C-alpha cells in the first residue's frame, strides 16, 4: 500500500467533487440505520495481494485505487465504515491456503479481495467457492480456471481472464506481417495460458510459433533465453512478464541488441505501469490490454485526476481493476441496504452488474462472473501507452468448463 493512503481520506471534499465528475454512486441518503449507529459494525474487507517482490507495484496500485473509490464514497460502503485486513501474499502459492483461511476463518471478512497471481487464485477459489466462504473479488489474477471449471456463484472478477488480453495479440502480430514467432513467459498459469492464447490466434491467422520458452517464476536471468532467440531469428517475440520482471526483460531485450531486429509484442502487462522505468527500451512495443491511459472518456479523465491528486502518480490497469472491485462492492451492498448477510441478494446484484462509467470504458459481468470488455491495441510512445485502436470489441472469455447451475 502507498504510504500516503491517509491523504485520500483527508481529501474527502475534493474526492466527493471527483465522484460527481466520475458519475459514481454516493451513499449519503442510503445509510441503513441498523448498521450505521455507533459505527460499530464495519464492513470487513480482507485483502490478499503482493506488497513485496516483483508484483509489489501491482498490489499497491490495486489497493490504492480500491481505497480511492471508497474515499470517494465518503470512506463508507453503503453507509458502513470499512475495515481493511491486508495480508502480503508474497506471491507464495504454498502460503496461499493459510493466508486465505486466516482471512476467512479467523478474521471473518465479508469480502475477500485478491489475488494478483493466477496460482494463488486457483487455491483461493477452491477454498471459498461455491459459497464455502465470503464473496471473493479477483482484482487481477487471470487464471482461466477461476471463471472456468472453478467458477462459483460467490466468485467475481473485475480484471480479465488470461485468454482475454492475449488472444487478440496473436492476430496483431500476424496482421503486422510476421510469419514466425517465439513465445516467452514465466512458467506458471498466467504465462502458460497467455502464451497458448496468443499462439492460437497467431496460428489461426497464418503464423507459426517455432518455440515456447518458459522461465521459472519469478526469475529474471534472461541471458541464455535471449541468446536462444537471437540464434533462432523469429520474425517476432510474444512475451508475458509483469512488474519488476517486465522492466528487467524489456531492458535486457534491448541491451542484447534484439529490439530493432525482432519486434516484441505481448499482453499489455509487459509495459503496463513500468514503461517509464523501461525507458527507451520500451519505445514502440505494441501490446493488447483492456485499458489505455489515454482513453478519452470522462470517467477516465476524472479517475486519473483523482488518483494523481491522491497519490502523486498516474494510475494503470491494476488501479482500474482495484477501483472497479470497490465499485462492484459499493453497487451491490448499496442495493441490499448494507446487509452483508444477504448473500443471495448480494450475489444477484453482482451477477447482473454493469459498469457504464468505468475508466476502461463500459463493461459488464458475464454469466461466469468475468468482465465482457473491449481489448485495446496500444504502443509505447515517450514512456506512455498510446492508444492505436480497439483490437477486440466486447470480448467475452469462452469460460470453458464453467457450470454454475
Ligand atoms: C497472473 O498471475 O494472473 C498475472 C500476474 C500479473 C499480471 C497479469 C496476470
Decide: 269 in ligand 1 pocket, CB within 6 A.
yes
Q: Give the mean model confidence (pLDDT) for residues 366-380.
A: 98
Residue 129: pLDDT band by 50, 70, 90 thresholds?
confident
Nearest to 62 by CA among 126, 4, 123, 140: 140
- Distance of CA 210 from the midpoint of ligand 1 (Å): 24
Tens digit of each residue's pLDDT (9 = 90 or more) over 184-211: 999 999 999 999 999 999 999 999 999 9
pLDDT of residue 9: 33
Residue 17 has pLDDT above 70, yes or no: no
Cα 28 to chain center, whole Å? 29
Cα separation, 111 vs 340, in Å, equals: 9
Per-residue pLDDT of 39-55, as tens digits, reads 349 999 999 999 999 99
54 close to ligand 1 (CB < 6 Angstrom): no
242 CB within 6 A, ligand 1: yes
Stretch 326-344: mean pLDDT: 96
Q: What is the predicted pLDDT for the residue at 405?
A: 62
Distance 101 CA to ligand 1 centre (A): 22
Question: How far apart are the CA of 289 and the centre of ligand 1, in A?
Answer: 12
The pLDDT score that the predictor gives to residue 132 is 77
Average pLDDT (206-219) is 98
* pLDDT for residue 402 is more than 50: yes
d(CA 37, CA 155): 30
Rg (CA), the chain: 21
DSSP per position, 328-381: HHHHHHHHTTT-TT-HHHHHHHHHT-EETT-TT--EEE-TTS-EEEEEEEEEEE
User: What is the CB neighbour count within 10 angstroms for residue 280?
Assistant: 11
- Centroid of ligand 1 to alpha carbon of 194 (angstroms): 10
Tell me which of 140, 240, 246 to substitute to probe ligand 1's pocket, judged by most ligand atoms within 8 Å of the beta carbon: 140
CB 220 within 8 A of CB 191: no
CATH code for 163-289+376-395? 3.40.50.2300
- pTM of the model as a whole: 0.92
pLDDT for 42: 96
**Over pLDDT 70: what percentage of the chain?**
90
Quick one: 187 exposed, middle or buried, by C-beta within 10 A (0-12, 13-18, 19+)? middle
Distance 40 CA to ligand 1 centre (A): 36
Query: What does residue 139 show for φ and ψ, rounded to 5 degrees?
Result: -95, 5
- Sole residue written with cell 492505436: 388
In the block, which residue shows the cell 492464447? 197
pLDDT band at 256 (very low <50, low <70, confident <90, very high): very high
Q: Does residue 116 have its Cβ closer than 6 Å to ligand 1?
A: yes
What would the mean pLDDT of 293-319 be, rounded to a whole number?
A: 98
402 CA → ligand 1 middle, Å: 21
Confidence of residue 167 (pLDDT cuts 50, 70, 90): very high
Instruction: Say if ligand 1 is within 6 A of residue 318 CB.
Output: no
The verdict on whether omega for the bond into residue 218 sits within 30 degrees of 0, i.e. cis, is yes
Mean pLDDT rounded to a whole number for the chain: 91
What residue segments make up the domains of the chain, in order of their start?
11-160+295-369, 163-289+376-395
Q: Where does the pLDDT of residue 138 fall: very low under 50, low under 70, confident under 90, or very high at 90 and above? A: very high
Taking phi first (over 0 means left), then psi (-120 to 50 degrees means alpha), and beta for anything else, what does residue 265 get?
beta
Predicted local distance difference test score (pLDDT) of residue 157? 98
Q: Kindly state the average pLDDT of the residues 374-379.
A: 98
* CATH superfamily label, 11-160+295-369: Response regulator (3.40.50.2300)
- Higher pLDDT pick, 353 / 405: 353
Q: Which residue among 192, 269, 320 has the greatest number of ligand 1 atoms within 8 angstroms of its CB, and so is best to mutate?
A: 269
Which has the higher per-residue pLDDT, 15 or 311?
A: 311
3-state secondary structure of 135: strand
Q: Is a pLDDT exceeding 90 seen at residue 27?
A: no
11-160+295-369 against 163-289+376-395: fold identical: yes
Ligand 1 contacts CB of residue 117 (under 6 A): yes
Output DSSP code: residue 104. I
Amino acid at each position: 500500500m502507498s504510504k500516503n493512503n491517509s491523504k485520500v481520506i483527508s481529501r474527502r471534499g475534493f474526492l466527493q467533487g471527483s465522484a460527481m465528475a466520475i458519475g459514481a454512486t454516493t451513499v449519503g441518503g442510503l445509510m441503513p440505520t441498523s448498521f450505521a449507529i455507533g459505527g460499530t459494525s464495519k464492513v470487513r474487507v480482507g485483502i490478499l495481494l503482493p506488497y513485496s517482490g516483483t508484483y509489489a507495484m501491482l498490489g499497491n496500485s490495486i489497493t490504492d485505487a480500491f481505497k480511492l473509490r471508497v474515499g470517494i464514497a465518503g470512506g463508507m460502503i453503503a453507509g458502513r465504515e470499512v475495515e481493511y485486513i491486508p495480508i502480503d501474499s508474497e506471491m507464495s502459492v504454498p502460503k496461499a491456503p493459510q493466508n486465505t483461511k486466516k482471512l476467512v476463518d479467523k478474521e471473518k471478512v465479508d469480502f475477500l479481495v485478491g489475488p494478483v497471481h493466477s496460482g494463488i487464485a486457483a487455491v483461493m477459489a477452491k477454498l471459498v467457492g461455491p459459497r464455502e466462504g465470503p464473496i471473493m473479488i479477483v482484482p487481477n489474477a487471470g487464471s482461466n480456471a477461476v471463471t472456468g471449471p472453478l467458477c462459483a456463484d460467490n466468485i467475481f472478477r473485475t480484471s480479465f481472464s488470461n485468454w482475454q488480453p492475449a488472444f487478440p495479440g496473436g492476430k496483431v502480430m500476424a496482421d503486422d506481417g510476421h510469419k514466425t514467432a517465439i513465445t516467452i513467459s514465466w512458467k506458471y498459469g498466467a504465462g502458460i495460458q497467455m502464451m497458448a492464447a496468443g499462439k492460437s490466434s497467431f496460428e489461426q491467422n497464418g503464423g507459426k510459433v517455432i518455440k515456447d520458452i518458459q522461465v521459472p517464476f519469478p526469475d529474471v536471468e534472461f541471458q541464455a533465453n535471449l541468446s536462444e532467440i537471437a540464434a533462432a531469428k523469429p520474425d517476432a517475440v510474444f512475451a508475458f512478464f509483469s512488474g519488476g520482471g517486465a522492466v528487467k526483460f524489456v531492458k535486457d531485450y534491448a541491451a542484447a541488441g534484439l529490439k530493432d531486429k525482432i519486434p516484441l509484442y505481448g499482453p499489455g502487462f509487459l509495459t503496463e505501469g513500468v514503461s517509464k522505468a523501461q525507458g527507451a527500451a520500451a519505445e514502440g512495443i505494441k501490446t493488447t490490454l483492456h485499458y489505455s491511459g489515454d482513453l478519452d472518456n470522462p470517467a477516465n479523465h476524472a479517475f486519473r485526476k483523482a488518483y494523481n491528486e491522491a497519490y502523486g502518480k498516474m494510475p494503470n490497469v491494476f488501479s482500474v481493476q482495484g477501483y472497479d472491485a470497490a465499485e462492484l462492492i459499493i453497487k451491490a451492498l448499496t442495493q441490499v441496504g448494507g446487509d452483508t448477510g444477504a448473500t443471495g441478494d448480494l450475489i444477484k446484484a453482482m451477477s447482473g452488474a454493469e459498469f457504464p462509467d468505468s475508466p476502461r470504458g463500459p463493461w459488464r459481468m458475464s454469466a461466469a462472473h468475468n468482465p465482457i470488455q473491449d481489448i485495446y491495441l496500444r504502443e509505447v510512445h515517450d514512456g506512455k501507452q498510446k492508444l492505436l485502436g480497439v483490437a477486440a470489441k466486447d470480448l467475452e472469455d469462452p469460460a470453458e468448463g464453467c457450470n454454475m447451475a
